[in-house]
A and B are shown apart, each in its own frame.
Chain A
Amino acid sequence: MTTEPLLESSFIRKLDRLSILTRRAMAGDLQGERRSPRRGSSVEFADFRPYASGDDIRQIDWNLYARAERFYLKLFVAEEELSVHLLVDTSASMDWGEPNKLRYAKRLAGAFGYIALSNLDRVSASAFGTGPHAVSLPSVRGKRGAMPLFSFLQRLTPGKGGDLAKTCRTYVQTARTPGPLLLCSDLLDAGWKDALAAFSARPFEVTVMHILAPQEIAPELAGDFKLMDVEGGEPVEISADIGLIQRYRESLASWREEIERFCNGRGMSYLAVDTSVPVDEFVLSQLRKRGVLR
């Protein structure tokens, strides 16, 4: 296990200034700092509604009563916490590449979770790839939760790999509160389409971090090879020459395009991540540019 800290302190300080953007108001469990679709107590006015028996008489707008001689309640926008979900794919294929994809995914999830925590949001992290059920961190809240989150992420070990779609479906069904969901995976699974489609079942706001190592984006192979799948898939024999590499890159590009189209069609954000780009640079500039963070 690496003794290296998951995120450097200078990077964490920079993350303090960021927050997660959501495209729509989302409900949470406790009061927080986010607009909620519910009515609640805040300083921001939302609406009036006629009084019904049982309502809190403290919320009656007396000025309106004076004018209309009927009781109206003055409603305010509720501010609640967000429930941010961090999903890290720990299948064997992730523990590959230089820089390592899994470590990259952990750091990315850590950074994202820290941003959420520093904005008093609830963060729950799950790792899947080891079996049918995800290894989860019970949700944490506030900066206090940063340490458990980081250590949880640090402790994650690569699994053997499993059915991505099934794991995703199970997670969606068992998650308490939907909210922003960050999926860090290489999607190198035949069932990637089903996996992504599973999130549409509940109102998650999904951001797909499609993490690939530079060795996958532009493989440097020349000669005859037998490619062994680390997840135990069927080996493939190739005679690599420049034409084959060219075709591989074209095929990769079209695959990424296909995923992006699929995501756009379901209101998900898709981000292709190259692990050769440092995490901090990616988070501070690219994610802000893409409107995931502010």
Chain B
Amino acid sequence: MSLISPLALLAAAIVGPIIVAMYLLKLRREERPVSSTFLWRKMVRDVEANAPWQKLRRSLLLLLQLLLMLLLVLALARPFFQTQGISGRNLIIILDHSASMGASDDSPSRLEAAKAKAIQLIDQLPDGGRATIIAAGGAMQVPAAATSDRRELRRAIDAIQIGNGGGSDLAQPLTLASALAAREEDSEVAIISDGNVGIPSAIRVPARVSYFPIGRDSENLAVSAISLQPNKSNTSQTLFVQVTNYGQAAATRRLDIYLDGAIFNAYNLSLAPDPTRGQSIVAEIPPQVRVVEARLDGTDALAADDRAFAVSTLGNVLNVRLISPGNRFLETGLALLPGVSVTKPISGTSTFTETATQIPVTIIDGPTPATLPPGNLLFVGPIRSTDYFSVTGEIEFPSLRPVGGDDPGLRQILDNVSLSEVSVLKTARITLGNWARVVVDSDGAPLLAVGERDGRRVAVLAFDLHNSDLPLQVAFPLLLSNLMGYLAPGSGAEAAQLLPSQPLALQVDASISEVRVTRPDGTVASSRDGGVQIRDGQAIYADTDALGVYTLEEFRDGEVQAAHRYAVNLFAPKESAITAQRDLTVPQTSGAQSTISRTRDGRQEFWRWLALAALVVLVIEWLVYQRNGLAYLRQRWRERRSAAPTR
């Protein structure tokens, strides 16, 4: 404990003697003549039996006044504790609210501890200092921007909730913080997190960065994958569950499998601490089961990843129209996909009566029909130009190179697909509009591109399958499956699994009047009140941060037409690995890399408490001074109470 203005203590040296002197002066009692002190002497003799207490009582007021003065003088001296804290006047707090912050190793949770820390930092802010709160993890939020209103800051901090989706990448928040810090002198960035965050190396933060680590536990088991696939024969389903130990010690837990809410089986798992290798369980599940829940018995630090859900896609049939002069590879590939039914119109037909809802996907292999069918389209080895692209020539022996970078929409297309072994004899040279995004190209010429235009999804595979060894490789059915997943969102086993905050999208017919989504906690969002949006024949529900099973129902004239289930699971190894990091490496313009504070320059002042104590002492002193009146009031009250029953 130190003092900011120790000179204030001198006041005690001045005021203290004054109070004592006044008290000594006051001791000269007022003289009052009485007829005789005979009676008083008699009484005082009785009283003097407990004289020490009497003396103390007489000087009680003096003691209280001295205490009051001491408290006030101490408060004036502004004492403080040295803490790790902040010193800047423009504070930017990056508060991690990703799923791993939901761990309960800091009571009640890491997030609450982080909020408390943030409020403590706000309290340390010097007068006139401003603060910005950035909630990192998932979509970045800025609940309070450059304000000195501490009430608003507190409210903003209190309102931060756990965000399950989106991981915890600090690139965006740090960029924003850098921009804010660069604008003002004396800025400081405080990162309150458990340290399981991604930090870009390219950034240079033009301010001091302090890191306040939260959390201490590292043991966590998670259901890292779950899948429920209908068998080919549609008579049973296969459940696949993977449990991973993200901690540092081996652990034994029981995994309970619930089918539609009823316990089905339990497995005792012994897991070695290895975040890359989980233990898997495969089980046959009866076909009528709709929802499977895998639950790890017992508790660990992070509860969110102890449960996972899978919904049955049995009976969900995706109708695909195949317009082809005959392509055995495609037919075989499509037949391998579960839940896909292929219809082949008579060749040469150019009138399509089925709507996009009935047949959502059309594969056009080779020659293009005169009119394009409704719904989403996959062009394979187009021969001539269409509305979407133009064919300008041919390329021989193209080299396949995946592009697309980090876009999750494009990554989804090449998920698990390896193109390194694939060779192509020749391909069409295609020029695309700016709607398309290239997934695979060869020296600037697109080989595989996807995109959205006119409210439909279009994918173009530039080469004829017969001119390639792709169909002979494992990559082909996977690519086909991924493309189907892209072209027909909301269908198939993959589509029924969502990550938190991933929007839930489903093609709906124009005749559907209402779409309702029942959330895991039982609340219902409807398209009528704007909770669910219907746009371009697609129902979109975005608020999927809570984990569990969502049920989407389509209504026409008040009757349920179809119901779809979606499972939202926290499958995020980065979040499940909850080991708290003691240091973060954040490059700063000062050259520092580490964020561990070497100096304890935070000042926790507590003169307010002293002032409060002084106020209490003042009240006590006044009560002691007025004890006569209080005793009188008490006596009156007693008299009235004893008089009341007789009346």
Contacts and interface: CB of A to CB of B under 8 A. Distances in A.
Contacts of A233: 36-38, 41
Interface in A179-227: 186, 188-190, 213, 216, 219, 221-227
Contacts, number: 98
Interface stretch (B25-33, B352-360, B420-428, B456-464): B25-33
Interface stretch (B43-51, B316-324, B594-602): B43-51
A96 B41 contact: no
Interface in A239-287: 239, 241-244, 247-248, 251-252, 255
B608 to A, nearest CB: 35
Contacts of A101: 35
A69 interface: no
Contacts of A221: 32
Given A224-B30, A242-B632, A96 B35 contact: yes
A97 B35 contact: yes
B39 A248 contact: yes
Contacts of A219: 34
Given A223-B30, A241-B628, A243-B631, A236 B44 contact: yes
B36 A247 contact: no
B43 A230 contact: no
A131 B99 CA distance: 104
A236 B29 contact: no
A97 B33 CA distance: 11
Contact of A93 (B29, B30, B35, B631): B35
Contact of A186 (B27, B35, B41, B47): B35
Interface centre among B26, B35, B39 (most CB of A within 10 A): B35
A231 interface: yes
Interface string B41-67: 111101100000010001000000000
Interface residues of A, number: 39
Interface centre among B34, B39, B58 (most CB of A within 10 A): B34
B582 interface: no
A16 interface: no
Contacts of B26: 224
A247 B58 CA distance: 18
A186 B58 contact: no
* Chain A interface mostly: mixed
B589 interface: no
A144 to B, nearest CB: 36
Contacts of B47: 244, 247
Nearest to B58: A239
Interface residues of B, number: 27
B26 to A, nearest CB: 8
A64 interface: no
Interface in A68-99: 93-94, 96-97
Nearest to B632: A242
Interface centre among B26, B32, B47, B635 (most CB of A within 10 A): B32
A255 B40 CA distance: 12
A234 interface: yes
A252 B43 CA distance: 9
A242 B30 contact: no
Nearest to A213: B35
A17 to B, nearest CB: 35
A213 B39 CA distance: 13
A251 B627 contact: no
Nearest to B32: A225
B409 to A, nearest CB: 86
B43 A216 contact: no
A228 B32 contact: yes
Contact of B29 (A97, A213, A226): A226
A216 B37 CA distance: 10
B37 A229 contact: yes
A230 B34 CA distance: 6
Nearest to B54: A239
Given A224-B30, A241-B627, A188 B40 contact: no
Contacts of B46: 247, 251
A195 B41 CA distance: 20
A229 B631 contact: no
A46 interface: no
A219 B37 CA distance: 12
A5 interface: no
A216 B628 contact: no
A241 B36 CA distance: 19
B35 A188 contact: yes
A219 B27 CA distance: 22
6 closest Cβ contacts across the A-B interface? A188-B36, A96-B35, A226-B29, A93-B35, A242-B631, A229-B37
Given A225-B32, A227-B32, A227-B34, 18 more contacts: A186-B36, A190-B38, A219-B34, A224-B26, A225-B29, A226-B29, A227-B40, A228-B34, A229-B33, A229-B34, A230-B35, A235-B31, A239-B58, A241-B628, A242-B628, A242-B632, A243-B631, A255-B42
Interface of A: 93-94, 96-97, 101, 186, 188-190, 213, 216, 219, 221-231, 233-239, 241-244, 247-248, 251-252, 255
10 contacts: A188-B36, A224-B29, A228-B34, A229-B34, A233-B37, A234-B37, A238-B44, A242-B628, A244-B43, A252-B39
